[in-house]
Structure 1
Amino acid sequence: MNGPSRMNLRLVFLTGSILLSPSAKVGFAAALPDSYPLNRAASGPTPVDPSFSAWLALHAKKPSPLELPEDQFTAMLASQDQITTAFLKLARMNTPEINDDEDEAAELVGPPRNLAPNFKPPESRRQVVEGTFKILKASGDLAGSAADSHPLLPFLYLNLLKSPELDAGERAAISQRFNQSAAGTCASKQSLLVDLTSDKLTPLNDDDLRALLQRIDRYRSRGFKQLALKRVILNLPEPRRRTVGDSILAVAQSYPALVATTPWLSQLAESSGKTVDSHEPEASFNKARQLAGKKQCGKAKDLMLGGLHIAKGLSSLTDATNTGKVIDGCFRAQDTKLRAEFWQNITKAMSDTYGFDGWAEARLRLGFIDWSRNKFDEARKAFEDVAAKAATKYKKYEARAVYSLARIAENQGELERAAVLYEDYLSRFAKEENYDEAMMALGVNLAGRGEWQKVLEPLKGLINSQSGMPVDERSASSLSFALFWSGRAYLELGKLSEASEMWRRVASEYYSTYYGALGHYMLEKVTGQHLAMQPARLPRFRPEMLQEPFSSPDQQKIRRIEALMRIGLHHDAVCEMEEVDIADGKPEKLIVKALVTYAAGKWLDAVKIYDALPRSFRSSLPAGFERILYPQKFAEEVRAFAAKVGVDADFVFAIIRQESVFNPLARSPVGALGLMQIMPQTAQLEMRQVGSDYMGNDVKKAVLASLSAGNGLLTPDVNLQIGVHHVRSLLDKYLSPIYLLSAYNAGPAAAQRWITTLPTRDPLVFVERIPYKETRGYVKLVLRNYFYYKRLYNDAKQDLRHFDTVADALVASVRSDHAAAAAVEAEKPPKS
């Protein structure tokens, strides 16, 4: 057998079982994601660990109890303990204080509570307060003598302190207990923000103010610290700046944009020598990006130019370039010509500030814009200019220019010229950023020309060199590509067993990737069996795993987080999680944060954390954790709308996951809105195609009215109805999920241009040749999502119609091989 010997495989399994023994109190233990056989899939969706499923049922996103109708709230309290009940009753009665930065505060410490309509508490606040004191005295919590303090006590104390009915003695007792128990909790952050008003800061003496600043600095959440500092700076009486300004600056130094946008603090920093010039352009660039996001493109450009005029050295070049890309995205939404004009206008300023580096960044960007506008001669001229001027002295820019020239040549069907340029790049720029991409592009170039033996040569070397490295040091993008395309080459060369081995490896080692999905799919076609999803060597889930990686104080925070999630206060739970110590970056701690944010419905954050975990560690997680990458919401609505027009609902989930990660309020810098990130003008055009069989006249009128009002696309039902219909329209037009996704991401004009000009009929080669890197990645990721939504949430036997379309050529090859083998068998003489 290829790969590890049978003895080595047995040793790997034994080692894995030792590492993953559920009786070992070590939290999450890393397992080796070595290649191993894929078992046959059981019927039904991919299994989820029963204990993990039960944990999610208790802790996953649910309505806040503070917003429930009174009868539901009362029913919910019946299952809660006394401390939780008292806390929720008081929290429901208390009215939040509203500040100018309420949106920012809501993101960090929880939104204002919206009481249920017609809420009338069955008890007076005084009755609840008196009952709460009896509970605290009986339990010993008020005296601090309780053997095991309740995790929600800080929140109970906070809400007691908000009650005006407390007498002086009661308030003193509760304040003391709150200060003793609430340090570093979300409750203390909520309390602190309320105290940062002008009327409460003014009476404090200098020592008190310095103590307050030290208290702020002890929190772990950078976002919260910045918000608290902003409130101190805003509300501090002007005469106090002279006496405590240095103390404020000492804490604020970690937030250069905050310093730069506060004139008196910026002047103090400059006079004390505690700042650098790069802080000011950083603030300008940050503000410019914000304005671009609000479609104020001209103001954003002016602010960026202002930042360029005060920048010094190369330290802010990357920030400036990225800001320019955001602003050109803003202009792109208005008119593609304005993008080029924008870069032409700032090229001189970029050059004056950053020298050749600034000029090269702007010139390369202009080349990309000309390329996107089908102005190939101008694009080539831009890249050739950079390559010529960068030769020898500025190698990284020469490399980027050569790579871009190769991509343009390929885009124009000049495959041999492209191959020469890729080979030139690979021979001279081994350490540059696009080396792996150039290697992969050359492989696809050769594949598109049918030179399959040549495809194998560089891929074999890459596979061998990468496979000799530790698992987590391997390049997932290049190795997964090499494994899949080697399998494709072997298949075309008639070597089915070698192809199967490559696909087995990519499916088992690089699950949850585009190439892993393709490899898994092709392996099923080769074997004729539905195969189990990976990873497959898994431990049992134990709730204690969430606490075991942490110190005792943080374990108490984890208990508090779980208690908050069980009662539906997920925003408070995430706020609390921000104060748990994960600074060492240990994956067994990061997975806890990923799980908490996932359960709280903050799926984008959860996906980012989970996706960054070492692959060896991910292979050790209980069954079902991989669903963190593929959340699902609005399932009933998606399935209902998709069924009306015959669209695969899982394909819609795959698009939503990539567009907004199920955030109905998502907004893109170019103006796309909502779950499916639909442009307003696209929505208006699509509504013209909607028939009464899909959307009744009354519903259609209401949808059109909401679009005219400007908020319709931020409503889930409206967004989904239009988005699903748009997917159907694109599928009818292009007949291919690849072309559909290209148009969805880059626009119909770009998609049609590529369909016409890209020299291939092979869908997989087409994907690799999509000129826009963003669109190329988008198509791959949505197809990956589609495969995993199908397999994680459905029976393995469900059809994968869009994968069947994409891999049709490969499937035909497999069928042809099977038919040829069957014919050979049929011609053999019968055994005597």
Structure 2
Amino acid sequence: EALSARQQERLEAVEKTLADLAHRTERRLESLQKTLEENLQKLRESNEGKLEQMRATVDEKLQDTLEKRLGHSFALVSERLEQVHKGIGEMQSLASGVGDLKRVLTNVRARGSWGEVHLSMLLNDLLTVEQFATNVRIRPDSAEAVEFAIKLPGREDGAPVYLPIDAKFPQADYERLLRAQETGATDEADQAAEALAKAKQPLTMKERLRAVEEMLDGGAATDALTEIDKLAAVPGAPKRELQHLKASALLRSRSYLEAAKAFQAAAMSRSGREAEQLTLSARALARAGKDAEAIKRYAEVFARYKATPYGEQSAYQMARLMLQNGRFKEAEAAFTKYLATFPKGKDRSDAEVERALALLSAGSAAQARKQFALLAQKAKVDAAGKLRELEGLAALRAGDKADAVKLWVDVVTTYPLSWASLSARSRLLSLGAEVPPLLPASSAKAAKAAQAGADEPPAPLPVSLPPTPAFLYSLGLDGDAEVRLASNEPEAAAAYAGRESEALCAMYGMLSRAKRRYRVGAAAVSYSALMRAPSPSERWAWDCIYPRPYAEPVRALEEQYGLPKGILYALMRQESAFDPAAKSPADAVGLMQLIPPTATRVAAELSMPYDPAALTSPEVSLKLGAHYFAKLLKMFQGSVTLASAAYNAGPKAVSHWLATGADNDADLWVARIPYDETRNYVARVAGNLSRYQWLEGGDAAVTVLPLELPVDARAPADAY
């Protein structure tokens, strides 16, 4: 038992010792763990600091490298895209030219004749006459011949070996023959061979005449003249038909005096087309500036062929030429006779207005006033304003100043900032009469609200471009950004509920271009909204429909040439609707719509290389157009009216109208312009300019239209 008690005591002592040891070990481990955690934390913080420093250094270097590489890449992309755009422009020009050629070469026979003409020209350019032959028999035992053959050496006796070339060998049948032979389709091969054999037959005279007509329709008058001369040498050629075709080709090539003589000669040959040919002869004389002779010839056609369409046409053109030449009493009588003879005549509406103009300038103001009033009642809005302004002038000349003033005040108010309104304003100022606001308030209520400040500007609309257009814009590719935005307008405007059009106009306003912005504005703004002064909440709409793209180059060009501020925008809006790639049926190209011959000469004056594809470049078109308009403005002694007319119809036409006319106040002179397009063009450019000026500074900024034109201004002989 004593042993057992001692063992128990020892066990207890051991247990206590072990417990103490475990406790001390636990405390030491806790202390060690705490020390280790502290050291680890310090190490972690130290490592994070060093890693952050390393990261900052790496980020800085990466950012610098990335910016350099992105900058280089963007520059490369921009350069390549610019080359692509230039290539597209060249392709568009080429496609247009191909389209024109395609219209001419509508059948196989015509293509053959066209090919023969150009193959002849090509061989004459490349070879001497001794190096090729024409109409060569391909085999001694055959009557078949090819059009051309190149002479090659190769025989001992010195006789040449011929390399035949035939422009009328039809490719389609040849390819069909090859396909048939490859597939073993003997029937098809025989048909193709037969078609080829037929095609090698020479064109008939009828087919060659048809080819000439297609050349004329395609604008190839010079080539047509060459072919006509060849046909004239063929025995049995239809002389009368060739005479008519040659006269038509001369007219198309603008050889007007020669054309007049040729049509006259054709009519003398009793072709059965005398009325047509004499009418065309008179037209050619008028275009050559031989108005007196043209009037006589038109009178001849009217007298001899009154019952034909050419008699009607000649009666009207004769009266119009008399009006243009200041023969007002004769013109009035001629228009009266035309209207009586052809009560349903094609030109009746124009003849009624021109008769009233003749009455006014002939001194029959009271009668003219009645005519203008009647015509204004049934005219459309734009024409009615012009007729009422002229009615006011007739009232003044008839001695009724009070009614004249009343009419002009109404025109200014009813047709604001139009050609009619600008003319009426000038008439009022010439009499010392009070001029109403150029843009009236929409209503008395609106005017009162504006005066009280009730119509405050709406809350600003924070607008940003969508990502893709924004990226393209950042690269300077505004045209591509415009196209991309135009294809996603609903999505882009969705975030601006109730103000979608305003938001789109603001987005497009961030770009240098305005083609789509103008169209969005035209769709969003009503005609009535443009007939009153815009309220603060409507100002965005005016800025949208009268945009000011390419601000810096336009400002610089207007300053450089001393042009009226806003005139380039007024021209752009009318010429191309701000479309840099616009092309007219007359081949006018670009923002300022220059035809290639004019652009070539302007570029030469500026010592610029001429590239037809570059006409779709806004910067190039603006530079050329500004120089040309400034040239015309100087030529016509600072008259914007005359320069605008010359920009559209050409300076020589304007000179002719000035030289032959009389009673040449601006409103009367423009009303008598014989080309409808030019007459409307001058009015619309003036209206555009007045609205751009009004947006800059209200009524006071709108230039007063000079009623007096520099009638002694003339285009020089080399004007273009």
TM-score, L = length of structure 1: 0.44
Relative to structure 1, the CA distance from residue 518 to residue 712 in structure 2 (aligned partners, 3 Å threshold; closer, same or farther) is same
Are positions 1:734 and 2:636 aligned together?
yes
> Which residue number in structure 2 is paired with residue 434 of structure 1?
347
> Which residue number in structure 2 is paired with residue 531 of structure 1?
438
Superposition RMSD in Å: 6.0
Structure 2: distance between partners of 1:362 and 1:676: 37
Are positions 1:372 and 2:287 aligned together?
yes
Which amino acid in structure 1 is aligned with residue 423 of structure 2? L
Structure 1: distance between partners of 2:518 and 2:216: 28
Contact 1:407/1:771, CA 8 A, preserved across alignment: yes
Q: 1:425 aligns with which of 316, 319, 338?
A: 338
Are positions 1:763 and 2:666 aligned together?
yes
Aligned runs of 1:453-532 on 2, under 5 Å? 453-464=366-377, 466=378, 474-493=379-398, 495-511=400-416, 513-519=418-424, 526-532=433-439
Larger Rg: 2
Are positions 1:721 and 2:623 aligned together?
yes
| Cα deviation 1:564-589 (Å, max 9, x = unaligned) | 989975436656899xxxxxxxxxxx
> Which residue number in structure 2 is paired with residue 786 of structure 1?
689
Aligned runs of 1:698-709 on 2, under 5 Å? 704-707=607-610, 709=611
User: Which secondary structure state, in structure 1, belongs to the residue aligned with residue 701 of structure 2?
Assistant: coil
Relative to structure 1, the CA distance from residue 573 to residue 456 in structure 2 (aligned partners, 3 Å threshold; closer, same or farther) is same
Which amino acid in structure 2 is aligned with residue 485 of structure 1? L
Relative to structure 1, the CA distance from residue 491 to residue 569 in structure 2 (aligned partners, 3 Å threshold; closer, same or farther) is same
Which amino acid in structure 1 is aligned with residue 389 of structure 2? F
User: Which secondary structure state, in structure 1, belongs to the residue aligned with residue 549 of structure 2?
Assistant: coil
Are positions 1:744 and 2:635 aligned together?
no
Structure 1: distance between partners of 2:420 and 2:621: 31
Are positions 1:777 and 2:680 aligned together?
yes
| Cα deviation 1:724-779 (Å, max 9, x = unaligned) | 33333333332223333343333333333322221224232222233444433333
| Cα deviation 1:776-822 (Å, max 9, x = unaligned) | 33333322322222224443211505x1355999xxxxxxxxxxxxx
Contact 1:641/1:721, CA 8 A, preserved across alignment: yes
- Count of residue correspondences: 466
Quick check: 427-436 or 480-489, which moved more? 427-436
Aligned runs of 1:70-89 on 2, under 5 Å? none
Structure 1: distance between partners of 2:414 and 2:258: 45
Structure 1: distance between partners of 2:667 and 2:646: 17
Which amino acid in structure 2 is aligned with residue 648 of structure 1? P
Structure 1: distance between partners of 2:622 and 2:524: 30
Are positions 1:383 and 2:298 aligned together?
yes
Relative to structure 1, the CA distance from residue 531 to residue 475 in structure 2 (aligned partners, 3 Å threshold; closer, same or farther) is closer
Q: Please report how far the alpha carbon of residue 417 of structure 1 lies from its aligned counterpart in structure 2 after TM superposition.
A: 0.7
> Which residue number in structure 1 is paired with residue 325 of structure 2?
412
| Cα deviation 1:652-690 (Å, max 9, x = unaligned) | 3323333333344445555655433445665666678x7
Relative to structure 1, the CA distance from residue 285 to residue 649 in structure 2 (aligned partners, 3 Å threshold; closer, same or farther) is farther
Are positions 1:641 and 2:543 aligned together?
no
Aligned runs of 1:301-316 on 2, under 5 Å? none
- Identical-pair percentage: 22
Which amino acid in structure 2 is aligned with residue 425 of structure 1? Y
Which amino acid in structure 2 is aligned with residue 451 of structure 1? S
| Cα deviation 1:517-550 (Å, max 9, x = unaligned) | 4346656873245432687799999x9xxxxxxx
Contact 2:257/2:284, CA 8 A, preserved across alignment: no
Structure 1: distance between partners of 2:651 and 2:560: 24
TM-score, L = length of structure 2: 0.50
| Cα deviation 1:415-447 (Å, max 9, x = unaligned) | 211110112233344433322222221222233
Contact 1:655/1:782, CA 8 A, preserved across alignment: yes
Which amino acid in structure 2 is aligned with residue 373 of structure 1? A
> Which residue number in structure 2 is paired with residue 753 of structure 1?
656
| Cα deviation 1:590-618 (Å, max 9, x = unaligned) | x99x9999989674997799599996798
| Cα deviation 1:440-476 (Å, max 9, x = unaligned) | 2122223323432222121233345x3xxxxxxx523
| Cα deviation 1:317-359 (Å, max 9, x = unaligned) | xxxxxxx9x9999734xx55687699899999xx99xx98xx8
| Cα deviation 1:40-60 (Å, max 9, x = unaligned) | xxxxxxxxxxxxxxxxxxxxx
Structure 2: distance between partners of 1:629 and 1:365: 43
Relative to structure 1, the CA distance from residue 301 to residue 480 in structure 2 (aligned partners, 3 Å threshold; closer, same or farther) is farther
Q: Please report how far the alpha carbon of residue 384 of structure 1 lies from its aligned counterpart in structure 2 after TM superposition.
A: 3.3
Relative to structure 1, the CA distance from residue 378 to residue 616 in structure 2 (aligned partners, 3 Å threshold; closer, same or farther) is same
> Which residue number in structure 2 is paired with residue 447 of structure 1?
360
Structure 1: distance between partners of 2:484 and 2:266: 44
Contact 1:440/1:481, CA 8 A, preserved across alignment: no
Relative to structure 1, the CA distance from residue 773 to residue 360 in structure 2 (aligned partners, 3 Å threshold; closer, same or farther) is farther
Relative to structure 1, the CA distance from residue 800 to residue 630 in structure 2 (aligned partners, 3 Å threshold; closer, same or farther) is same
Q: Please report how far the alpha carbon of residue 648 of structure 1 lies from its aligned counterpart in structure 2 after TM superposition.
A: 0.6
Structure 2: distance between partners of 1:338 and 1:575: 53
Relative to structure 1, the CA distance from residue 493 to residue 337 in structure 2 (aligned partners, 3 Å threshold; closer, same or farther) is closer
Structure 2: distance between partners of 1:495 and 1:398: 40
Contact 2:521/2:541, CA 8 A, preserved across alignment: no
Relative to structure 1, the CA distance from residue 523 to residue 595 in structure 2 (aligned partners, 3 Å threshold; closer, same or farther) is farther
Higher relative contact order (CA 8 A, sep 6+): 1
| Cα deviation 1:612-642 (Å, max 9, x = unaligned) | 9996798799666566764443232122122
Relative to structure 1, the CA distance from residue 680 to residue 283 in structure 2 (aligned partners, 3 Å threshold; closer, same or farther) is closer
Q: Please report how far the alpha carbon of residue 413 of structure 1 lies from its aligned counterpart in structure 2 after TM superposition.
A: 2.6
Contact 2:482/2:508, CA 8 A, preserved across alignment: no
Quick check: 712-721 or 618-627, which moved more? 618-627
Relative to structure 1, the CA distance from residue 751 to residue 602 in structure 2 (aligned partners, 3 Å threshold; closer, same or farther) is same
Which amino acid in structure 1 is aligned with residue 558 of structure 2? A
Structure 2: distance between partners of 1:286 and 1:624: 51
Contact 2:518/2:578, CA 8 A, preserved across alignment: no
Aligned runs of 1:661-680 on 2, under 5 Å? 661-667=577-583, 672-678=588-594
Aligned runs of 1:337-376 on 2, under 5 Å? 364-376=279-291
Relative to structure 1, the CA distance from residue 737 to residue 705 in structure 2 (aligned partners, 3 Å threshold; closer, same or farther) is closer
Structure 2: distance between partners of 1:630 and 1:297: 41
Contact 2:413/2:438, CA 8 A, preserved across alignment: no
Relative to structure 1, the CA distance from residue 785 to residue 685 in structure 2 (aligned partners, 3 Å threshold; closer, same or farther) is same
Quick check: 436-445 or 616-625, which moved more? 616-625
Aligned runs of 1:43-62 on 2, under 5 Å? none
Contact 2:603/2:609, CA 8 A, preserved across alignment: no
Which amino acid in structure 2 is aligned with residue 765 of structure 1? L
Which amino acid in structure 2 is aligned with residue 723 of structure 1? G
Relative to structure 1, the CA distance from residue 360 to residue 724 in structure 2 (aligned partners, 3 Å threshold; closer, same or farther) is same
| Cα deviation 1:691-742 (Å, max 9, x = unaligned) | xxxxxxxxxxxx52423x5556554334433433333333333222333334
> Which residue number in structure 2 is paired with residue 571 of structure 1?
483
Q: Please report how far the alpha carbon of residue 405 of structure 1 lies from its aligned counterpart in structure 2 after TM superposition.
A: 0.6
Contact 1:674/1:719, CA 8 A, preserved across alignment: yes
Which amino acid in structure 1 is aligned with residue 366 of structure 2? Q
Structure 2: distance between partners of 1:607 and 1:624: 14
